[in-house]
Amino acid sequence: MNLFGAIARSIRLKLMLVVLATTLAALLVAGVALVIHDLTAYRQSGINDLLAQAEILGLASAPALAFDDAKAAGESLVLLKAKPEISSAAIYNARGKPFATYARAGGAVPDFPRLPETDGSRIDGNHFVLFKRIAQDNEILGTVYLRADYKWLQRLLNYLGIFTAVTGLSLVVALIASVWLQRVLTKPILATATVAREVVEHRDFSLRARKTTQDEIGSMVDAFNDMLVEIGRRAEELSASNRSLEREMAERLRADDERAKLNAELEQRVAERTAQLESANKELESFSYSVSHDLRAPLRAVVGFSKLLVEDHALQLDAEARRKLDVIQSEGARMGTLIDELLAFSRLGRKSMQMSDLDMTELARSTFGGLNGQVEGARVEFQLGALPRAKGDRVLVGQVWANLLSNAVKFSSRREKPRIEVSAISDEREHVYFVRDNGAGFDPRYRAKLFGVFQRLHSASEFPGTGVGLALVERIVLRHGGRVWADSRPDEGATFYFTLPKEQVHEPV
């Protein structure tokens, strides 16, 4: 089995590893620190010892040098055999000539420096080397030379040996301690883990872990058991609510099915009805067209013959008869106009629209200009704002402007200063154009009747008109996908609004 895998899966091995790693780390750090300290101290103390030795030697051999007694100097050097680490030594006289020498017994014959170096110590490979001047009364008598072993490598190896032994022993002790400790520590954890595994495998939330300690692990076991209780309860609730949800879902699906079926039926019925309505509408339109058309011939005959009657038999008719014939003629002319407008209205349903980009400002201005020639528009104060461009049939939209503007001129004509204002506002979907006058206005209660065919809110004697104009406006605007409405109070003027969509919509059926 892979060792790392085993460690990753076992808390017992992890704990053991922690204990061993801690022990090893502590030992390593302590060991390295000790060795470094000891080697430094060894080196320093070696130099210090040598320095002290040189001092003593210098003191002892000063008289020998002063009184030129090489033998005495040699005898003081011989005392160095008590210091086996000193391998060779020498004393030089004031002129730098060797005066007395010493070599450790059993060693190779040393190679003494020909001349003493300056005062000081240094490390020469595996040796300390030291030179020390001998001085008395400000006079240099000579120099002591000492050479001693510097066995740092051997010392290091000794330490490594000791360190290895200590480490091995410590690890064994730590291993035993950790085996005992982790048993105390991991037993309740492992027991809990076993219970947890069983819970997961068998989905049995009635299982409980046994609490054996009062420490954090004990409270963890308590928490685990509490959690089991909670999870068990939740699982129960969840399955209950799942069941009711499933029931609800099934009911809802069934209801959806029914609704869809109903909708389909409804749509089919609407389509059928629409088709019926369309055909009925068409029939009605063609009927009204033919009726209007057919009415023109007899009307022309009535008007024509009454004219002939006045022209040919004027002398036989008295004044009363001529007045009545005039009435017949004027009423006949009025009926002709009515029939024409009716024809135009019904024709609107059949004509196809030629959509184009329209400069509404220009269209409104030219339309008003056209009206100006006919009526007393010269007096009217006409305010035209900047209107947004729109998509539409030029002729039909022009008709809308013509009807609305002529209405405005007509109903404000009685004012002393008639004023007409044309402007527009836009939102994200559509442009709202409006025509406002300061004319007679209307009673808002009859607002609904405004756009009906032949609906008139004022008498013909007051304001002439057929009652078809606004119906025409509504029809055109609706065909363009817009809306029409109006706002007014009697004697306070009226505002007529119509909208055109920014995006061209499909022509409604």
Binding site for other proteins (CB under 8 A): 59-60, 62-64, 66-69, 71-72, 76, 136-138
Smaller CB separation from other proteins, 94 or 355: 94
Write 204-210 long-range contacts (CB < 8 A, 24+): 205/229, 205/231, 205/232, 205/235, 206/232
Closer residue to other proteins (CB): 137 or 215: 137
Which three-class secondary structure state does DSSP give residue 441?
A: coil
Supply the minimum distance, in Å, between the C-beta of residue 137 and other proteins: 6
* 92: three-class secondary structure by DSSP: strand
Instruction: Classify residue 485 as exposed, middle or buried by CB count within 10 Å of its CB (0-12, 13-18, 19+).
Output: middle
CB nearer to other proteins: pick between 135 and 207: 135
Q: Compute the least distance from the CB of residue 136 to other proteins, in Å.
A: 6
Angle at CA of residue 348, ends 346 and 353, nearest 5°: 160
Which CB atom, from 64 or from 409, has the smaller least distance to other proteins?
Answer: 64
Please tell me the distance from the alpha carbon of residue 7 to that of residue 22, in angstroms, as a whole number.
16
Cβ distance to other proteins smaller for residue 97 or 273: 97
Contact of 191 with 210, CB cutoff 8 Å: yes
- Cα 478 to Cα 59: distance, rounded to the nearest angstrom: 132
DSSP string, 153-221: HHHHHHHHHHHHHHHHHHHHHHHHHHHHHHHHHHHHHHHHHHHHHHHHHHT-TT--PPP--SSHHHHHH
Which of 302, 309, 348 minimizes the C-alpha distance to 328? 302
Q: State the nearest-atom distance from the C-beta of 98 to other proteins, in Å.
A: 17
In the bound state with other proteins, the residue whose beta carbon lies nearer, of 68 and 265, is 68
Closest distance of CB 81 from other proteins, Å: 18
Across the chain, how many H-helices and E-strands are there?
9, 12
Can you give the length of the chain in residues?
509
**CA geometry: angle at 426 spanning 423 and 430, to 5°?**
115
CB 89 within 8 A of CB 102: yes
Q: How far is the CB of 90 from other proteins (least distance, A)?
A: 18
In the complex, what is the shortest distance from the CB of residue 58 to other proteins, in angstroms, rounded to a whole number? Answer: 11
Nearer to other proteins, 62 or 217 (CB): 62
Q: How far is the CB of 50 from other proteins (least distance, A)?
A: 22
DSSP code at position 316:
T
- Give the shortest CB-56-to-other proteins separation in angstroms: 12
Closest to 186 in 3D by CA, of 23, 19, 21, 15: 15
Please compute, for residue 154, the number of CA atoms within 13 A of its CA located in the half-sphere on the CB side.
5
Question: Toward other proteins, which CB reaches closer, 74 or 501?
Answer: 74
Contact assessment for residue 368 and residue 377, using Cβ atoms and an 8 Å cutoff: yes
User: What's the closest the beta carbon of residue 142 comes to other proteins, in angstroms?
Assistant: 13
**How far is it, in rounded angstroms, from Cα 146 to Cα 120?**
11
Q: Closer to other proteins by CB, 63 or 349: give it.
A: 63
CB of 67 to other proteins, least distance (A): 5
Q: Which residue, 60 or 424, has its beta carbon nearer to other proteins?
A: 60
Residue of 321, 301, 422, 432 lying closest to 368 (CA atoms): 422
User: Which residue, 61 or 143, is less far from other proteins as judged by CB?
Assistant: 61
- Spatial distance between the Cα atoms of 101 and 90, rounded to a whole number of angstroms: 4
Backbone angles phi, psi at 423, to 5 degrees: -155, -175
Measured CA to CA, the distance from residue 379 to residue 216 in angstroms comes to 100
Q: Which of 100, 390 has the CB closer to other proteins? A: 100
The C-alpha atoms of residue 400 and residue 392 are separated, in whole angstroms, by: 11
